[in-house]
Chains A and B, each alone.
Chain A
Amino acid sequence: MNGPFPEAQRGLLASIGHLLTVDSVRVYRRPKIVHDAIWGTCEYDPWEAGLLDLPLLQRIRGLKQTGFAYLTYPAAEHSRFQHVLGVTHAASRVFDSLRRRRDADGVSPRAKQNKGALSEILDDRLASRNRVLLRLAGLVHDLGHSFLSHSSERIFGLIPPFPDLIGEVLRQHDKKPGAAEVVVYLLVTSSEWRDVVGRIWERCSGPGTPPTEDEWARIGRWVMGIEPEGPKKFLCDIVSGPVDADKLDYVARDAYFAGIPIAQDVDRFLSTVCIDRQTNPETTKEWWRLTLPLQKGINALEQLVMSKLVLYSYLYHHQKVRAAELTFERNLAREYLTQGRILGIEGVWDLFHVQDAHLYAVTGGRPGHNRAADVAYRVLPRRVVEFREQDVTLEEPDRARSIQEYRRLSSLSRPKSWDQYHQLLTYEDSLARQANLPDSSVIVDFPADPDYGDLESLVLPGRSPHEQATAKEHLSYGDWIQAYNKHRVYNRVFYFGDEKSLERLWTVLAEDFGARKLRLPERLQMWR
């Protein structure tokens, strides 16, 4: 990719180059066995074990997978490192299952009509190469994260050159990747990365030659969910798609480490997942997609969606998790807008050699002078009020105007640019000042619609070549999600302050909402 990519790549490599040293990489002759909490005994090939020794991969041991969730669920301290091991294992399990069942139900009836296209991918010699690439994609897919994972990604994704990089991918591929995925692409398409992998490959007796420049570019695209070759699209789907190895791992892992019981029958999923051939009506191009069959795969899909819904309800939307994430994000945004840096880090590329522990370093072990970093010490705001749309909008004849104002407020609190962050922080500070509180004491939170990962794009093939349905047509998950949105997604106002300031803030909020044709009924006060 051209445009802003070459310069960004130079910037990234200049900042993380010191983590690409092979000095600490041991020589592996045999596969390495790892016991994982989710997948049990997992095997990693010698060159994979060598890669895992790289300081760049060891770094992600220090990035918590679920950000600040551990402040609420103490055991949720699992790392990105554990997750990439799981995804690597899961990716090859999916691939192996498809290969093993390629003459049976691993390939849908209409995909079987053009089996030749798949032989280039699933036949013995090429299959082993594709399996190697898939597992490497699993190993590298999260190397673009910085401290506290998605909490910082929402901020650094707005710092130049990320908007330009994402815009370039959008222009070229009609796909909007996450900022962390773009970092992975920049890394794995660099000559420095290829050189390091080549040396590890040699040391650890990798099969054949290490991945070529083209193969690394393909891995980088897979991580962003892009595969221009129709027959290979299902490989990309295994890495990043509606039912990918990433989801298989993190749904089970996040629930397990948070201590939230969920039912996810991975064996059933692996025995039903299949390749389907789908035709884009606009371009008439054929795409081989990873999906689940209509009749046999519904249960596995249902479990996956339900598990994610439970995770939103218990974990991702938990009020203390939101309080921690938003305190962190708002204060990172404030620091960037006023000082052009985040947590003291000036250059955006320097974010990719730090770990979560950077927060403790910023506080110097003495919380009290940096609100973003203090979150690590669980210095969190309290709820003033929590509400849903139906709780605060007015009835007729003011209903239309009231909903319009509600929407303006919710849009304001879901910033997508620095201008919008500036407007939001100004609004929150104005509330704080009116309540005689210092700036950055008030946070207004309207969570966005939960992300279930492109499930609506999933097409489920039937028993005959012409039978198919979207997931939505055959699953009631749409009902669950919409009901969850309507009744369980709460907006909140948080504040830092004492009991006295709470009284003042309540009055200020009631006035502000009143001016917006919204109401704050007494019953909505949580902790007054």
Chain B
Amino acid sequence: MKKTLILLPLLAAQVALAQEKKTITGKIEDGNTFQVMAGASIKIETQSISSKTNQEGIIESVSIGTVTDKNGKFILEIPADTKSVMVSYLGYESRIILINEDQTHYNVTLTPVSSEVSDKNKIQEVIITGYQKIEKRKQTSAVSTVKMDNINQAGVASVDQMLAGQIAGVAVTPQTGSPGGPAKIRIRGTASLSGPQDPLWVIDGLPLEGNDVPNFTDKDNIDQLQNFSIAGLNPNDIEDITILKDAAATAIYGARAANGVISITTKKGKKGNMRVNFSADTFVTSRPDFDKLNLLNATEKVDLELMLAQRSDLTYRADKGEVMRILMKNGQLDTFRSGGLDGLNSLTRQQIDGLRNNNTDWGKLLYRTAINKQYGLSLSGGSDRSDYYFSLGYYDEEGTTIGTGFKRYNLTLKNNYKISDKLSAGISIFGTQSERESFVTDADASINPVNYSRNANPYLTPYNADGSYRYDQDIDGFENRYIPFNFLEERNNTSYTLKNQSLKAIADVEYKVTKDLKLTSQLGMQYDSNKTEKYAGQETYFTRKMREGTRYYKDGAYRYFLPDGGVKQNWDNSFFQYNWKLQAAYSTKINSVHEIDVMAGTEIRKTEDNTTLTRAFGYDEISRRSTAMVFPSSSFAAERKYETYREMPPVVNAYASMFATASYTFAQKYTFFGSVRYDGTNLFGVNKKYKYLPIWAVSGSWLVTKENFMKDLTAISNLRLRASYGLQGNIDRNTSPFFIGEYYDTTILPGTKENIINVVSPPNDKLRWEKTTNVNLGLDLGLFQNRINLTADVYSRKGTDMISMKETPLETGFEYTMMNWGSLTNKGFELAVSTRNINNDNFKWTTTINFAHNKSNVLSEQPRDNALLPSREGLPVNAVFALKTAGMDENGNPMFWKGNEKMKAEDFFKLFDVYADFLPGQLVDTKLSNAELRNLFTYVGDRDPKFTGGIINTFKVRNFDLTVSATVNLKQTVMRTPSYRGMDLDRGRNYTKDIYEAGTSLPGITSSEMDSNPGWMANKWFADNRSNAYSLLDVWAKEISYVRISSIRLGYTLPKQFTSPMGISSLRLSVEGRNLFVFSNGYKGYFDPETYGNMYAQPIAKSVTVGFNISF
């Protein structure tokens, strides 16, 4: 028996009131070991017995109870009408034992709290939807739950990344390896095209705001620091995660749940003594393998430039690149063109050869191996009346990209009280402070670190001989007036930070009106303060470029009005929301056959977002003061970019909703479930009929194993069939049939400032509701005492009148608007199998496999005259179209397939010289109509993966445990950014070794000048980006499949006999390798298969973690 046992005080068993009594006896045993338990307590739980005291008017309240003796036995005298007693023991689940009139002896077994839930109890498991707890046996919808213990990984900032490969139908794709960066999550494909496509995150019933992941192929987004509220949560505080997938499960959340719901339940204190848990992990993140980018080295680049310099027909940015600069400076270009290398004078040769020796390792200058740490401490415990959980967390990650990092501090406090038998309340507080760190990169696309490391010439050295910064002569965008740029200088002299302080508080009250009727209310609040600061010192490209913009001409000279010093910009954003729910739930059981559960409630929510921007010019870091700008003219003064203070109008939204669910179960076999919700919002300027939108779902399940005919089939321990149907709707909140204006001010003529009204979005009275119907069929199967568990779901979602952003003819005055463009379906299946392959005391092996397939299909699409690509009807919504090439011709220009005919680009696009008569070689156009141009494209694949999934194997051998998790992503077609543009090859930047295939398997290096170039028309066509033709050549498409071993974790738990004497209940040491291996069909030229084709994404970190976890 446990030595840490604490004897409960002997409770007074005297009963003063004269009433009928009886005596019960019994024995308490451990449910696993069947050892008797001494010191377990037995008491009457639900009521206190009041006893009159000697003093009049004072009633003493005493509980009736006792504890077991050393043989685990007890004797207790109780009032004869007692219905039940409670048996409890520290560290074990308490049980309530019903007292039968004619039974006086009770044998009770208790199971330890920490032990895994046995199969017998599984039937009582509940699904926490955030609104209600549904017993798993009454489950009718598609829902998955994962325990945090099974998916927790050290060295991962946020829980979203840990979901990768864990749940069937949940595709998690890391978008960038930047610290604290989010992962893109898609549950069952893409449902809505206009609004956010991200699932709704809910924490203990409070829906979180601020988790929409922007498009990360856009470099402005990828360089932007952004706070995601889910990244503020300490993964150690999470107990389990429930994912609601089909309409029956999500309908209760209304329109926001169109993309599925991820509901997080956090840990709470368990009854018993205080448990202390401390964990510490150190993780080493290795420098990314720069060789993956497959770039040219210095010698190869010099040779390439020499080759380009030979050719006089290549005029695009012809003066770029060090070789050309040397040749021109020394006046040797013509000599070189006529006589080659041998003709050059020795100085030129020496200078050119000198370049070959400067092999700058940009990988080392930009990336590093980082050592990071993570600590967690939690205290928890509880009594019969209350429980508590308190935790502290610290997470510190330095990015492998030098200069980036993420730090987080967490404080969590949870308390639950049972105020009376009817009333209970709980309060939770989650406090977070996080800090993201980077450097300023937004002055130009070319200075995103990943992109720059691709573009920077390998012979370019970052420092001059005297140690000063050497500036890149080839930086984009400044043909002749050049602004000095050095990556290291930029990184050292700029800073970019985002500090988030977040507080989430949730208060719950539950009141049992009667045995069957329960009222609950929850008030949740979220407050986020985001402070972003961008600072660029005076000696930076950023500030220099800004200074250039302030140049003006006066009194015979150019002057600049940007004061000397740095530029500092601060965005101060605060977000607040509250969410108040009031619910009544009624459940009853009639004759043990009919079970009825009804719930109805209302919810109101209000959000407010405020942002102010301040700018300081001429900022001095030491004095912390800025200098006022003196504008030379009123038009400069009116430019918004020089504004020093700006307050965005607050964004306030309110929502009011009503919802109800009803469930009926017959004979514990058949369950019917219905759910409905009305959402109302403050749609300003929107038609009244769109103010409330109904969302509903119906579903049912059949527990086949309860049928008599299944009794003899012992192999099947559990079989349930499920079906659901639901309808969801959505309307674009930002589109109104009216002209909605926003106030601004302007100065048209000097000295007169006037208020103006600008239109917010194009008024459109033709926009209709977007509706999605959702059908789900599911099967839960347990075989051989649930040693094999299988869950399978098939679903079909059909969206009609889908809303999407579309380009409009510019004659409308707008470039884009929201439109109903068509209908589409998403069909797929999900399969999750978990097996306990070996289940001995000393060796356990379990395997979980999940696998999902989703295919979208566009049923109809409103044809657009200005569309560039063919209709997607009959194709996936993310269809990839390309131009089928048929190799390259003798000049290196791509040939095309039109049907079975191989043709040159000029013929394929039917190109002609528009001004052939009087200005030949100037303008190329096509004779094809838009529709004919569209038809040149061929469907080459789906940008969404065909299959996603994960495989998790867990082994337990004595005190060792090993978990290997892998994520699988199969058959995803990606169009990469062309590795080079052959018709306007920029010799000022570096390229991948793809360039060696120019003219053979990839387009050649050609010119769009008419002279000496038979393919000039095609090149002009490509160079002008017409039809986006060059980027959409099929040579850039690739079908990617990969398996990533996301985590290998080995743990060793010290045997109890060593740790117990030290008062330690558990001590575990662990080693974990993350992202160590990835198997794929090739991702040459990019860091990871996940970010294939993205020129800007930071590499996904590979790390090794060493840590321990200790509990008292």
Partners in one complex: no
| A residues whose Cβ falls under 8 Å from a Cβ of B | none
| B residues whose Cβ falls under 8 Å from a Cβ of A | none
